[in-house]
A = this chain, B = another copy of it.
């Protein structure tokens, strides 16, 4: 294994290598790229021991415990999952080269719009080391070079995984570069590398995402933050509402598509608020609420919600409940406080559902379903880079097709204007 591939070079040198690699990667055919991916999967399987040893160093030095330690930890089973994830990406269709449009002008010029790689993709992410492999193979599949800047907790694991992937025969030098994670210096250089890097994707907490979006000179695709709402309308089926609210809040509270806020129509609030608050509390959820919700909760203890609560993405077993006058109020509340990720209306009133679907300005809007479905795999896209909450380039689940750009190819016979 060529351990020197990813070390002992400055950030600038690594970015230049990635830029050079991107032109070679763009010329690879689908079969060549898939062969590289399968070889990477095999190399991950074959190097299980060294991956576990590198990860053990991270776990030991991090001092992390509980859920955070678990996010960092790799096991034999998780390494096998990583490798099979790579094989799944190899099996997906290759979007590169797809002809998106084609026409001939009256002057005889033939114009084709073709899907091409973005070039160099930068990823800034936090602890989970599987992101290193997941994103590198999505980039490779789409003919992009990738520059990874992981968290320092996972430094040994990431270094080991990148060395294994980069050492696979046929992977161009510079195709997968790992930046130093010891200080923030490499982040600063990466986000200012306009011209060398085509897009930056921050994956992590709100602090990281805000820092990158506000400071990057390179275009950014914002992913991740999800302050998702469920609105229980006057005509909602309460049993369906119970099932959806409990699912959206408790099935996996740490992910961005879990629900954080519950809005209840005032005409059914007296009946539904105490009912759902009881069920949420039975499921271990801390419930917060506005004045109306608290007044309706009977003996149940609802923590008063502050203005900050309506903005916050809890990412844990906590939910804030508000009573609203009607669907218009629900839409206004969501458009004011949501992160434009996923929001759902539960109702039997089609006119209200249409109003909500059209009026709520979010990446995914639901009628009578859990917000938990906003996910690349659930949508049928295969592996994903994340969920985009911005409006440019891609919105919602962000998968292979969104790791591409397009170019126009124009063939003439000497035409001039």
Chain A residues close to B by CB (< 8 Å): 23, 26-27, 103, 105, 109, 111, 118-119, 194, 198-199, 213-214, 217, 219-221, 237, 240, 243-244, 247-248, 251, 335, 353, 357-359, 361-370, 372-374, 378-380, 390-393, 395-396, 405-417
Give min CB distance, A118 to chain B, whole Å: 5
Interface centre among A214, A357, A379, A392 (most CB of B within 10 A): A392
Q: Which residue of chain B has its CB nearest to the CB of A355?
A: B27
Q: Which of B372, B405, B416 contacts A391 (CB 8 A)?
A: B405
Name 19 extra pairs, CB < 8 A, besides A105-B378, A363-B408, A369-B411: A23-B335, A109-B369, A109-B373, A119-B361, A198-B391, A219-B390, A219-B392, A221-B392, A248-B416, A251-B416, A357-B409, A365-B407, A366-B412, A367-B409, A368-B411, A368-B413, A369-B410, A370-B417, A393-B393
User: Quick one: which of A219, A220, A362 has the most chain B CB within 10 A?
Assistant: A219
Q: Which 4 A-B pairs have the closest CB atoms?
A: A369-B412, A247-B416, A391-B405, A240-B414
> How far is the CB of A115 from the nearest CB of chain B, in Å?
11
What are 11 residue pairs bridging A and B, where the CB atoms are less than 8 Å apart in the complex? Answer: A26-B358, A105-B378, A105-B380, A240-B414, A243-B416, A364-B407, A364-B408, A366-B410, A368-B412, A373-B417, A374-B408
CA distance A380 to B335 in the complex (A): 36
Looking at chain A's contact residues, the main secondary structure is: mixed
Q: How many copies does the complex hold?
A: 2
Judging by beta carbons under 8 Å apart, are A391 and B119 in contact? Answer: yes
Bound CA span A4–B176, Å:
56
Which residue of chain B has the shortest Cβ distance to A332 in the bound complex? B23
Contact A213 B217 (CB under 8 A): yes
A23-B335, A379-B111, A392-B405 known; A414-B357 Cβ under 8 A = no
For the complex, give the distance between the alpha carbons of A199 and B396 in Å. 17
Q: What's the minimum C-beta distance from A207 to chain B, rounded to whole angstroms?
A: 15
B residues less than 8 Å from A378 (CB atoms): 105, 417
Most buried by B among A243, A366, A406, A416: A416
